[in-house]
Amino acid sequence: MSNEDQNKENLNKETYLELYHDLLLIRRSEEQLAKSYAAGMIHGACHTYVGEEAVATGVCAHLRQDDAVFSTHRGHGHALAKGVPPREVIAELYGRETGCSRGRGGSMHLFSPEVGMMGTSGIVGPTILQATGAGYSFSLLKTDRVAVVFFGDGAVNNGAFHEGINLATIWKLPVLFVCENNMYATEVPFAYASGNPDVGNRGPAYGLPSVIVDGNDVLAVYAAAGEAVRRARAGEGPTLIECKTYRTRAHSEGMRDAGYRTQEEVDAWKARDPIDLYRAYLLEHNLAAEDDMQEIEADVQAIVEHAAEFAQNSPWPDPATATNYIYSENNSQDHEEVQHA
Amino acid sequence: MSNEDQNKENLNKETYLELYHDLLLIRRSEEQLAKSYAAGMIHGACHTYVGEEAVATGVCAHLRQDDAVFSTHRGHGHALAKGVPPREVIAELYGRETGCSRGRGGSMHLFSPEVGMMGTSGIVGPTILQATGAGYSFSLLKTDRVAVVFFGDGAVNNGAFHEGINLATIWKLPVLFVCENNMYATEVPFAYASGNPDVGNRGPAYGLPSVIVDGNDVLAVYAAAGEAVRRARAGEGPTLIECKTYRTRAHSEGMRDAGYRTQEEVDAWKARDPIDLYRAYLLEHNLAAEDDMQEIEADVQAIVEHAAEFAQNSPWPDPATATNYIYSENNSQDHEEVQHA
Amino acid sequence: MREITFMEATREALDSAMAKDPSIFVVGEGIGARGGNFTTTLGLYEKYGPERLRDTPISERGFVGMCTGAAMTGTRPIVDFMFLDFILDAMGELINQVSKIQYMSSGRLKMPLLLRGCIGIGGAAATHHSGNYYPIFAHIPGFRVVLPTNAYDAKGLFATALQSDDPVLFLEHKNLIFNKGPVPDEEYTIPFGKARITREGDAATVVALSSMVDKTLAACDKLAKEGISIEVIDPRTIAPLDIDTILASVHKTGRLLIVDETFAPCGVGAEISAQVTAQGFDDLDAPIMRLNGLHTPTPYSPPLEAAIVPNKESIEQAIRDLLAE
Amino acid sequence: MREITFMEATREALDSAMAKDPSIFVVGEGIGARGGNFTTTLGLYEKYGPERLRDTPISERGFVGMCTGAAMTGTRPIVDFMFLDFILDAMGELINQVSKIQYMSSGRLKMPLLLRGCIGIGGAAATHHSGNYYPIFAHIPGFRVVLPTNAYDAKGLFATALQSDDPVLFLEHKNLIFNKGPVPDEEYTIPFGKARITREGDAATVVALSSMVDKTLAACDKLAKEGISIEVIDPRTIAPLDIDTILASVHKTGRLLIVDETFAPCGVGAEISAQVTAQGFDDLDAPIMRLNGLHTPTPYSPPLEAAIVPNKESIEQAIRDLLAE
Ligand SMILES: Cc1ncc(C[n+]2csc(CCOP(=O)(O)OP(=O)(O)O)c2C)c(N)n1
Ligand SMILES: Cc1ncc(C[n+]2csc(CCOP(=O)(O)OP(=O)(O)O)c2C)c(N)n1
Ligand SMILES: [Mg+2]
Ligand SMILES: [Mg+2]
């Protein structure tokens, strides 16, 4: 797998298998969503995470439910890795009342505060700042909770990146800034859009530690995130982690995926599929048995199929509730109204 | 003076004296404005440039009238160095129709496009982006004009710094980003507000050249700006220059100047007054004679006194013109209205 | 006359202006080789190259501020926001700089900055991709705000915007940009501040904005079958606003309804109502009514989304209510 | 009763809330040891320390976004903008995030974010330090917008803002914050959405906002000497807006003038006019009038600045014109 195999800590078997489970759960869910999109079950945009699963999986493996994750327009994988049930994610994209945002959000607005999924955003940038604020809460409240934000290479050229990282650094906030550098913002190459082709070498400009990691190597991500989470919980401040990875499907489902990258490039990255690499690695090093993995594969398959059925059979939101939840004061009252409606 | 004396190019006498003239013109104008403020002649805020004159002087000495300068709330010195007549600057702060912004702007909104003074801003940040845009015009129009923006250390933590520098870098625009690091944003120390105490070491994070210069050494600023202007005119792209300097008066006139910096610190910087240092340096190296400088001192004194008189005797804007100039279409027409008013 | 889409019409105006004036350039995400997410610049990159069709990083504030400086120094920038929602990150540049620089420089600087973006609710785009926000720009002095509603107007109004030395917001509703309509081959301009009387009538006046025009016309067709004749006015620009045409119509009909997809509070309908009340009070035979989208963020789920936007039926009902007053 | 300034009154409310609730913190430039450019936090740094009175870099977008995330995760942030003008760099966070997160999370997240800043034209502050902008926040769903006009209201409304789980804009006019008035020692709250009838009368109703209240009262004193009795209403909050109190007054007087320092187009006066026309049409004996500051950036020079803002004389004239209708 990656050439840093030697300096990989040894994990217990459960952990190895849980990582495999999470990787697969994201992949199969995304494949289901792609199918659902093609079938017209998804009404708005749908940005899949296929090819990047190792990042969310390797980072979230270190998080507790009371830690906070903030994400992007490409957020299904982060939500699943943080523990949002697949059925709630799929139901949300189906626009149903049983979705994690009760059908208000769709693909780009996944909220599940109960499990620490604090939201994805259709706007690039803001969640970098919100994670900084969660870090502020956690440190003001004297807890050891941590906040994590996942963002793309496209967000790096945005002022939110600059201001958020500086604020977290000067106040030593418990935040992980995880950049998923998949080399493109839609079709605009990061190498064109930024004067510096790397992100993980920018720590010195801000005064925080930063690293560049192979984002298709779940164990490399796991190791880097583990150290960053340790620092954050210990009150040692934020870390910037760049994960070099690749999106193997179109920017969003149904979108033309040509003219900006070569087939060779796509194939080369597919050959480094994070799940295939990891599966092979586990077998090669006898860290898990073929049956273990087949069992997981069957479980995940079942979970995702049931989730899709659940979504399919879920009710639509009641149009009479369209203006609920705007103001906190009115929320309960709005519910009333709805019942009487 | 500074320990880089040796690597200072030799300039001709005129240049040495012009620099002295400009330094002094800014200093005396600011001293006049401080007096005028105390006398109630200035109606809004007034941020003086006393102690930082070497930066505007050393940079603008390289500029042609068709080059563009963008500045900040502390912009009197930049306007004067770019060639705005002192009477128009003082009259503007007096709120008179003869001011460079016809009394519309005051201290923080100095416009004199005729001499390439493209504006100061009461808002910290935007002019960094506007200078980038001037650079875009100059390169699209295939000219060798350059754009310069002066900004404080306070602007460095703002997203405008990040986005502007990146855009200028990826498109190789002819822009000088000149940071006047006077160690404080009002009373907030840069060492507190930024995770990185320096600015001139941030070039690598963006992919452009950056330097740290003694901002109280006019010849050091002159040398650094000369190279940056050469690069810009040659199409080699932008440069980031940090000038370490100090504001020896209060953040703004009439404002309490205590509680955030020590008297020792202020005195230490006053001992490195850029004008005293430069005057001593010229004499010491026989680059100019005492009479030359006394002549300049007398000239400048006279210019500033006449400028203040001019402002004092200038007419107020006609209230009937208060809504002129909002839309280009209406400008001439508005004038009409006024005449018939 | 040949029929082309709204977007093809604006592209024609853009292409001929760029061919004539080398100082025009466009910035935005995906507006280069890709030709724009909404095909705003399709085919132009091949003609005018990367410097004039400039793909940008995701730096909305940055490139708006950059284009502000460019407009001050001899070029004519066009910012293509794709979705107008993204303009909000540049509000400081727009309200504190763009709208004020001509004034603060006493007219010695111009601000030929054209800002375009797609607006509107539809297609389950959810709350970050369905903003309208035009009342904000009508509130702030210094802007021209254009809401084209058909291919013919789109070409002529865009041509005018390309010639303006003032900052112009050209706001294209997602549900309209691929509608076809007759458009002359030759160049023409349509002045700002001239409303279009889209349908003549005498029972009541309906002022409809952007995507509401077609829906209103559909409702009026239905009412016409009952012999109810409604006058429909499309202001086309809300800053400047052609209040005279509206007043003249109300003078004739005595009744006014304003239909707008976006929020009622401090909106365009409120402004029109206030002006007509102040200047046309004696013409009014009934209270002025407004029909707006609900005052809420935009939900994703189709049944919720449909519930917050006026439609043919709710417009028809609002007109009947107005006539019953 | 003892008299203290408007700003002292808000500071009292802030201090007692911070003493009770350790999750409240304030961010802004100079709000730490310095106590705030406008003394908003004077003396609190010594009591509550740097973590709860957090001096910030000049990162308005950054710390607004940060406080958005903080409000989502168990603390109660207060953003002190000093001059409200600086809020514009954070508009994307406010309109796309702050105002929408409760809705998008179906009410499972709250947004207890208090945003305060000084507004208003005066003192030759020029166009970057004299913004009002409140109609923008009244237009967007999700915000509470407070315009306190005296020390008593300032304390009670600020106390309510400190308890709200919705985002609140608390907008303090520079010309009012150092005015003194009677203020009880004990804590009290004033609900949002309840207007104050500042002066009773029957000839006409004047709704005045922010700094216009005192100027309107002065004009009314003058008119009273001629036996002209005017009712003056201070809405105190424009979102929610207490339209019922305004309607009841117009029912009595039959005439309405709205006086507002800021821009007329798509402003609060337009909204009030539109609502009263729609709901109180039959009560109107004359057209509803608006008196606003001129639709222009704010000039620096005192004679120009004075020319763009309504004053006692222009308000008096506007009332006379309304009565003559
Ligand atoms: C502020 C803003 N500008 C533009 C967009 C439109 N947009 C949506 S996704 C995207 C590309 C994002 O690229 P990146 O951050 O690298 O994430 P990726 O899609 O590669 O995962 C853009 C430009 C947006 N959502 N927000
Ligand atoms: C966006 C914005 N936020 C806050 C302010 C208020 N303000 C005016 S000057 C200043 C400090 C600026 O510091 P710096 O950039 O270092 O310039 P200096 O005054 O030191 O020359 C601040 C915070 C402002 N003008 N603009
Ligand atoms: Mg990317
Ligand atoms: Mg400074």
Selection from D178, A159, D233, D128 nearest residue C89 by Cα: A159
Ligand 1 mean position to A47 CA, how many Å?
10
The tens digit of pLDDT for each residue in C178-203 reads: 999 999 999 999 999 999 999 999 99
Beta partners for residue C105, in sequence order? none
Buried b or exposed e, range B40-72, using 16+ CB within 10 angstroms: ebbbbbbbbbbbbbbbbbbbbbbbeeebbbbbb
Which element (helix H / strand E) includes A118?
strand A117-119
User: Which residues does C178 contact at the CB level (< 8 Å), separation at least 6?
Assistant: C5, C6, C7
Q: Whole-number mean pLDDT of chain A? A: 94
Distance from chain centroid for Cα C315? 20
Q: Give the CA distances from residue C33 to residues C43, C45, C103, C114, D207, in Å, rounded to whole numbers and listed in that order.
A: 8, 6, 37, 21, 55
The tens digit of pLDDT for each residue in C136-188 reads: 999 999 999 999 999 999 999 999 999 999 999 999 999 999 999 999 999 99
Q: What is the mean pLDDT of residues A124-147?
A: 98
Ligand 4 mean position to D16 CA, how many Å?
34
Selection from C236, C258, C269 nearest residue C153 by Cα: C236
Rounded Cα–Cα distance for residues D258 and D244 (Å) = 15
**What angle (nearest 5°) sits at the alpha carbon of residue C308, between those of residues C305 and C310?**
115
Q: What is the pLDDT of residue A336?
A: 36
Provide the ipTM: 0.97
Q: What is the mean pLDDT of residues A122-141?
A: 98
Q: Which of A157, A165, A206 sits opposite B166 (nearest CB)?
A: A157
Q: Which of C22, C62, C72 sits opposite B134 (nearest CB)?
A: C72
Selection from D18, D11, D82, D128 nearest residue B187 by Cα: D82
Specify the pairing of strand B147-152 against strand B175-181.
parallel
Residue A64: exposed, middle, or buried by beta-carbon count in 10 A (0-12, 13-18, 19+)? exposed
Q: What is the pLDDT of residue B67?
A: 99
**C95: which DSSP letter?**
I
Residue A103: exposed, middle, or buried by beta-carbon count in 10 A (0-12, 13-18, 19+)? buried
User: Which residues does B190 contact at the CB level (< 8 Å), separation at least 6?
Assistant: B153, B154, B156, B181, B183, B184, B197
Q: Give me the residue label for tokens 């009332």.
A: D319
Name the more confident of B53 and B10: B53
**Given pLDDT bands bounded at 50, 70 and 90, which one contains residue B123?**
very high
Q: Whole-number mean pLDDT of chain B? A: 94
Specify the pairing of strand C230-234 against strand D204-208.
unpaired
C60 is catalytic: yes
Q: What is the mean pLDDT of residues C33-55?
A: 98
Q: Which of D58, D297, D301 sits opposite B158 (nearest CB)?
A: D58
Rounded Cα–Cα distance for residues D233 and D244 (Å) = 12
Q: Which amino acid is at D200?
A: E
Q: What is the pLDDT of residue A3?
A: 46
Selection from C208, C206, C216 nearest residue C311 by Cα: C216
**What angle (nearest 5°) sits at the alpha carbon of residue D237, between those of residues D305 and C310?**
100
Cβ(B170)–Cβ(A194) under 8 Å? yes
Examine the pLDDT at A333 and tell me if it is beyond 50. Answer: no
Rounded Cα–Cα distance for residues C112 and B328 (Å) = 9
Residue D170 φ/ψ, nearest 5 degrees: -110, 105
Selection from C301, C2, C10, C1 nearest residue C176 by Cα: C10
Percentage of residues of chain B with pLDDT beyond 90: 93
Which residues lie near ion ligand 3 (Cβ < 5 Å)? Answer: A 152-153, 182, 185
Examine the pLDDT at B5 and tell me if it is beyond 70. Answer: no
Examine the pLDDT at A68 and tell me if it is beyond 90. Answer: yes
Examine the pLDDT at B7 and tell me if it is beyond 80. Answer: no
Q: What is the mean pLDDT of residues A229-255?
A: 98
Q: Could B193 and A207 be called an inter-chain contact, meaning their C-beta atoms sit closer than 8 Å?
A: no
The tens digit of pLDDT for each residue in A143-160 reads: 999 999 999 999 999 999
Cβ(D76)–Cβ(D130) under 8 Å? no
SS3 A303: helix
Q: Does C296 contact chain D (CB < 8 Å)?
A: yes
Distance from CA of A59 to the nearest CA of D (A): 20
Which chain D residue is nearest to residue A108, measuring alpha carbons?
A: D104
Please report the sign of the dihedral spanned by the C-alpha atoms of residue B252, residue B257, residue B262, residue B265: positive
Selection from B173, B243, B181, B172 nearest residue B210 by Cα: B243
Q: What is the mean pLDDT of residues A280-286?
A: 97
Examine the pLDDT at A120 and tell me if it is beyond 70. Answer: yes
| Helices within A61-202 (DSSP H only) | 76-81, 86-93, 126-140, 153-156, 159-170, 190-193
Q: Could D102 and A327 be called an inter-chain contact, meaning their C-beta atoms sit closer than 8 Å?
A: yes
Q: Which of A105, A124, A125 sits opposite C300 (nearest CB)?
A: A105
Q: Which amino acid is at D274?
A: A
Q: Could D287 and C271 be called an inter-chain contact, meaning their C-beta atoms sit closer than 8 Å?
A: no
Which chain C residue is nearest to residue A186, measuring alpha carbons?
A: C30
Q: Does B96 contact chain D (CB < 8 Å)?
A: yes
Q: Which residues of A touch B205 (CB under 8 A)?
A: 196, 201-202, 204-205
Q: What is the pLDDT of residue B330?
A: 57
Q: Could A161 and B162 be called an inter-chain contact, meaning their C-beta atoms sit closer than 8 Å?
A: yes
Buried b or exposed e, range D199-221, using 16+ CB within 10 angstroms: bebebbbbbbbbbbbbbbbebbe
The tens digit of pLDDT for each residue in B213-226 reads: 999 999 999 999 99
State both tokens at C96.
């504190």
Cβ(D166)–Cβ(D195) under 8 Å? no
Selection from C137, C267, C277, C243 nearest residue D268 by Cα: C267
Q: Which amino acid is at A236?
A: E
Rounded Cα–Cα distance for residues C284 and C306 (Å) = 32
Q: Could A45 and C125 be called an inter-chain contact, meaning their C-beta atoms sit closer than 8 Å?
A: yes
Q: Give me the residue label for tokens 């003086």.
A: B48
Q: What is the pLDDT of residue A329?
A: 74
Angle between helices D151-163 and D6-20 (to 10 degrees): 30
Q: pLDDT tens per residue, chain D (325 residues)?
A: 899 999 999 999 999 999 999 999 999 999 999 999 999 999 999 999 999 999 999 999 999 999 999 999 999 999 999 999 999 999 999 999 999 999 999 999 999 999 999 999 999 999 999 999 999 999 999 999 999 999 999 999 999 999 999 999 999 999 999 999 999 999 999 999 999 999 999 999 999 999 999 999 999 999 999 999 999 999 999 999 999 999 999 999 999 999 999 999 999 999 999 999 999 999 999 999 999 999 999 999 999 999 999 999 999 999 999 999 9
Q: Could A207 and B194 be called an inter-chain contact, meaning their C-beta atoms sit closer than 8 Å?
A: yes
Which chain C residue is nearest to residue D239, measuring alpha carbons?
A: C265
The tens digit of pLDDT for each residue in A178-211 reads: 999 999 999 999 999 999 999 999 999 999 999 9
Q: Give me the residue label for tokens 């017209």.
A: A40
Q: Does B331 contact chain D (CB < 8 Å)?
A: no
State both tokens at B245.
């300097």
Q: What is the pLDDT of residue B339?
A: 32
State both tokens at B185.
């944003």
Selection from B93, B53, B56, B89 nearest residue B71 by Cα: B56
Rounded Cα–Cα distance for residues C41 and D196 (Å) = 54
Q: What is the 3-state secondary structure (H, E, C) of chain D?
A: CCEEEHHHHHHHHHHHHHHHCCCEEEEECCCCCCCCCCCCCCCHHHHHHHHHEEECCCCHHHHHHHHHHHHCCCCEEEEEEEEHHHHHHHHHHHHHHHCCHHHHCCCCCCCCCEEEEEECCCCCCCCCCCCCCHHHHHHCCCCEEECCCCHHHHHHHHHHHHHCCCCEEEEEECCCCCCEEECCCCCCCCCCCCCEEEECCCCEEEEECCCHHHHHHHHHHHHHCCCCCEEEEECCEEECECHHHHHHHHHHHCCEEEEECCCCCCCHHHHHHHHHHHHHHHHCCCCCEEEECCCCCCCCCHHHHHHCCCCHHHHHHHHHHHHHC
Rounded Cα–Cα distance for residues C136 and D324 (Å) = 33
Cβ(D257)–Cβ(D290) under 8 Å? yes
Which chain C residue is nearest to residue B66, measuring alpha carbons?
A: C73
Q: Does B321 contact chain C (CB < 8 Å)?
A: no
pTM strictly above 0.80: yes
Q: What is the pLDDT of residue D194?
A: 98
Ligand 2 pocket test, pick from B128, B186, B261 with the greatest ligand atom count within 8 Å of Cβ, gives B186
State both tokens at D228.
């002209």
Q: Is the CB of A52 under 6 A from ligand 1?
A: no
